[in-house]
Structure 1
């Protein structure tokens, strides 16, 4: 039959339908390859949209229901400052925080365990659970839950293992003008050490913590040629009884709050005497404080006693302002940088002289551009409790 005959026999009004094309066959390998490519693109986009790497905690506002706790009669007043856990979690922790305005919008904070320390917005407020009231004033103490002042009052840092430098500037509180200049000019990463003989230490502590500084207390220890060379009032001495030295230590510790530990002021003779240093370190371990040895004497028994008494410990590499000259101070700071690049970290100590403060502030700004991280002293301690 011809095509014309077929067309004649076809019912009127029906068009010729084109032949259907078969569906293309997709091979399994191609499907897997396309899916893998889409996953790579999605993952890359997620990373690109992140503001910083995982080391920086991110706060994301989400809609979460506000849970109201049932009212209790005569409920105790909440502590003024939030607290941080002393133990480092195995991974990032998620904390839900509901604001007091009743908006119902919570904040989810993803916290990296390497970033320890107090929220800087409330860092000037003491944690009541870490204070023991005494005749001399408030003393730092471990909390009933095991938290330590060295952890709670530590300034957060990145947790990275690059070249790190800690700089501790001491003598705060002795000069009102000098103290104000140091707090105002030095970047928050610089640790400040307060002299117990200073004035208005509580007020300066709050100002220092508001601007981000970690702080420690200086404790006067007996040097050689004492009392001709004297670090000041209530010096701990080799010949004094353990009880008398503890009284002097408590006086220094009670001068303010919110500090992570102590460092020696002078003390070459005292630091070399294990009998005198034993009760001193036992008290620091009991109270959860760190100890910084300025490194001025090689005969110090501090490392052994710190390990024995579970005291976080660090030793200074160099005093940066032995010569009070800007050029010489900058040379010492450059030495610290070379040390940090060689072994991973370095610690420098100095005093709150105008020339020292100006040199450190200038050097720190440039050092960051060269990849140096300025960290608080608590970040560079050897901590027997953390291994």
Structure 2
């Protein structure tokens, strides 16, 4: 096991069996994240300050006078200063893989800072989300404002992308925040170190965020770690959920990690949805368990809900990821909107970013999770559901 964790994923090894490959990345990352819980935030490495990514084109061949300058003049500094001067965007180094690459942040992409004082309460686990006395909820206040979203023509197929596993690997998280479009929703696991800073960085870059909640699976060997929501011990599940919720702020809702046994248990799911309803949070089902009753119970309690239509990186082969993205596009054209989920592997993120960049040209729109939930909750079928006492 230690050898597997220390060896770079996917290098000099045969592809694992399908049932192992599906969860390999997140389970291995969770182990590493657990080990990092006790590490001081300063050891994680550098201030996180990501934003939208755009390449800075190479400067024209230097003149003879420029050639006499130090070599640092050609590492992106001059072009970065020029971008700031001419466009008003903020430019800073780091986050790219190409020599001299920089990240630029266009104005108007950042979400409102969190927490909003109306929407938190103190607990022994930290700040927990709650509904405000004025009726405001985290699911609405922390969502991407409609004014920040480009107008979409009626009838345009919409796609929502959710990428999980954030916070477990700081470098991979920074890269995902910087490289994925702001409309991509990022789900943070509660086991990472320095989660508050990473979650804030994601929101500053325009990403809506979720809490990715570890829940009890059918096979206990599939997952190990503290504070997993129990399907049979409701008191422990409530405490563990509060521990998870207190790890960072600013999320619009909760998404399951594993949880086949938990989401198939009606009593456990009722207690869970009752808590989300009281705190004004949405729920996202990753679609991994066909036995899940989460959708029906979320509707009963008035919890905003959406279920992922497709897992995008079940196979890590590039052609398989591309095929899954193509299938997601087809679903969006058939149904009007579709939701795709990926586990946060860097190789998959690269292909997702490339796919997202082409959507508008192909007549589709990439929308944040809150937009997908608003659209779904406005259907007559959802409005007919009443909330139980």
Superposed pair shares fold, TM > 0.5? yes
TM-score bin (small chain): 0.5 to 0.7
1:375 Cα shift? 0.9
Partner of 1:261: 253
Q: Which moved more, 1:158-167 or 1:294-303?
A: 158-167
Match of 1:186 in 2: 180
Partner of 1:237: 230
> Is the 1:310–1:383 contact (alpha carbons within 8 Å) kept by the matching residues of 2?
no
- Offset from partner CA, 1:82-127 (integer Å, 9 cap, x none): xxxxxxxxxxxxxxxxxxxxxxxxxxxxxxxxxxxxx854523321
Equivalent residue, structure 2, for 1:309: 301
Aligned length: 267
Alpha carbon RMSD of aligned pairs, Å?
A: 1.7
Work out which structure has the larger RCO, using CA pairs closer than 8 Å and 6 or more positions apart in sequence: 2
1:327 aligned partner: 319
How far, CA to CA, are the matches of 1:376 and 1:253 in structure 2?
21
Distance 2:360 2:214 in 1: 33
Which of the residues 124, 129, 137 maps onto 1:135? 124
Match of 1:19 in 2: none
Indicate the residue corresponding to 1:80 in structure 2: none
CA deviation string 1:34-58 (max 9, x = no partner): xxxxxxxxxxxxxxxxxxxxxxxxx
Offset of residue 309 of structure 1: 1.1
Q: Counterparts of 1:264 and 1:252 in 2: how far apart (Å)?
A: 12
Matches of 1:219 and 1:252, distance apart in 2: 7
Q: How does 1:18-167 map to 2 (within 5 A)?
A: 120-121=109-110, 123-156=112-145, 157=149, 158=151, 160-161=153-154, 162-167=156-161
Relative distance call for 1:142 and 1:231 in structure 2 (3 A) is farther
Match of residue 328, structure 2, among 321, 336, 355 = 336
Q: Could you tell me how far 1:367 is from its partner in structure 2? A: 1.5
Query: How far apart in 2 are the matches of 1:282 and 1:327?
Result: 41
TM-score normalised by length of structure 1: 0.66
Distance verdict in 2 for CA 1:159–1:354, change over 3 Å: same
- Whose helix fraction is larger, Structure 1's or Structure 2's? 2
Please report how far the alpha carbon of residue 371 of structure 1 lies from its aligned counterpart in structure 2 after TM superposition.
1.6
SS across alignment from 2:377: coil
Write out per-residue CA displacement over residues 345-387 of structure 1, whole angstroms, 9 at most, x where no aligned residue.
0001012211111001111111121121111111112438994
Local SS of the residue matching 1:217: strand
Residue 222 of structure 1 contacts residue 231 of structure 1 at CA under 8 Å; is this kept in 2? no
Say if 1:196 and 1:219, in contact at 8 Å, map to a contact too: yes
Which of 199, 209, 220 aligns to 2:193? It is 199
